[in-house]
Structure 1
Amino acid sequence: MINQSTLDFIGDLKANNDRDWFLKHKEAYDAAQQNVVTFTGELLKELSKVDPYIDANSDPKKSVMRIYRDIRFSKDKTPYKHWFGIHKLSAKYHLEVGYYMHIEPGATFIAGGCWWPQGDQLKAIRQEIDYNADDLKAIVDAPTFKKLFGEFRDQEQLKTIPNGYEADNENISLIKLKSFTASHKVSDAELKSKDAAAKVASILKEIQPLLLFLQNAIA
């Protein structure tokens, strides 16, 4: 579970995003980060029960993203992220495919898939959809998937038809997608419940077939 003190720290950091404040509250940050690492360890154990690609004994620290922002090429010069991110839960998935969890008061969500693939990877996914659209539709059009994640095709799409495809292709709404992900909001109350890791894993379980489809496309 995620502690209320962790959510409080994130909220305070958002309101005081500068180095001096952060250094004065380093102890609170360390406690919050450790809470997220501990939660990630719990999540790995729960997720390993439903996804054979996940190793329950993986080091959870490696999946917790740095809180420091890369501001070199950004107009936003605030030095810290006002959230915690969890990613790369398994090295068995392709680098661009996997689960993600964003922890932020009132804005926590979990997700999975392939976010904004580029170049050959994007072409490979489109080709896989064109060849095996029924497999993808069986996943994203399933009632449980739609209830948890909404309409898969509502993600941002190209305004034009990709090269090599025709407008009358029956699966063009999937082929035109720029991103191939599914996400689900998690309330603060759910995040703070004792079985939070198990609940998150039970939802991510429904994304796993999508990961396998994308893995097969670009691996």
Structure 2
Amino acid sequence: MDFQNQINFLKALQKNNSKEWMDANRKWYKEVRDDYITWLDKMNSRLADIDDEYYDTPGKKGINRINNNLMFHPNKPIYKDHFGAGFDKRPNTGDFYIEVGIERSMFAGGLWRPDPKRLRSLRDAIDYDGEELVKILNKKSFKKLFGGLYEDVKLTNAPKGFSNEHPHIDVLRNKTFAVACEFSSDLVLKDNFEDYLINVYREMLPFRRYLNKAVTV
């Protein structure tokens, strides 16, 4: 994978964020995108080798569109400043996400503002055996890599049906159950980047499995 070519493309795109520029550079975009899909296919196979519950996610199904959704975010540029993709994208569960950009690059995973039904399932699971999730979140290597749950919308009081005295009330008040870690975009140019990705995947896996079990069982 020629990540340097990808980064060069993104830098040029952000200086000329328009449909006219994209149309004129469609061949370059296709070259970068196809290269990325091939690399995603490779990593898809490597992750399947280390995770016996992995959901096969070929690059073409994992890659995100480079267009911003202007219907919901009309003030954003036409095109994103990154290439994003998901691995292990089992329907209705939280995948493992990678984003390679020029301003920031990151790994993330979990459930971003799940719908009410799945949110209730998560909270019921935490009510039943939340100590298991807390143990994962408090693991030294996990905290070093991700810090903790992604900071997002959080209830002021206990969710309906739960007490403010609940031992896991701080976790229950969350509406997003996800973690993320940013990394320098220069890392993608290093020989150990793929191994780093796999290490992050392994560290996040117990967290994602807990969440996905809660919303599917």
**C-alpha displacement of 1:186:** 2.0
RMSD: 1.9
SS of 2:212's equivalent in the other structure is: helix
**C-alpha displacement of 1:68:** 2.3
**C-alpha displacement of 1:59:** 2.4
The partner residue of 2:212 within 208, 212, 215 is 215
1:199 aligns with 2:196: yes
- Alignment correspondent of 1:16: 16
The CA distance in 2 between the partners of 1:155 and 1:79, in whole Å, is 25
The CA distance in 2 between the partners of 1:124 and 1:3, in whole Å, is 40
1:180 aligns with 2:180: no
- Alignment correspondent of 1:90: 88
- Structure 2: any 5+ residue segments left out of the alignment? none
1:142 aligns with 2:139: yes
**AA of the residue aligned to 2:83:** F
What is the number of residues matched between the two proteins? 216
Percent of aligned positions that are identical: 24
The CA distance in 2 between the partners of 1:21 and 1:52, in whole Å, is 44
- Alignment correspondent of 1:32: 32
Gap change, CA 1:207 and 1:119, over 3 Å in 2: same
- Alignment correspondent of 1:79: 78
TM-score (norm 1): 0.90
Gap change, CA 1:12 and 1:153, over 3 Å in 2: closer
Gap change, CA 1:153 and 1:77, over 3 Å in 2: closer
SS of 2:73's equivalent in the other structure is: coil
Verify the 8 A CA contact 2:41 2:59 in the aligned structure 1: yes
SS of 1:21's equivalent in the other structure is: helix
The CA distance in 1 between the partners of 2:46 and 2:26, in whole Å, is 30
How far does the alpha carbon of each residue in 1:145-179 deviate from its partner, in whole angstroms, 9 at most, with x for none?
Answer: 00100023755421232111111111000000111
SS of 1:31's equivalent in the other structure is: helix
The CA distance in 1 between the partners of 2:60 and 2:111, in whole Å, is 22
SS of 2:171's equivalent in the other structure is: helix
The CA distance in 2 between the partners of 1:188 and 1:84, in whole Å, is 12
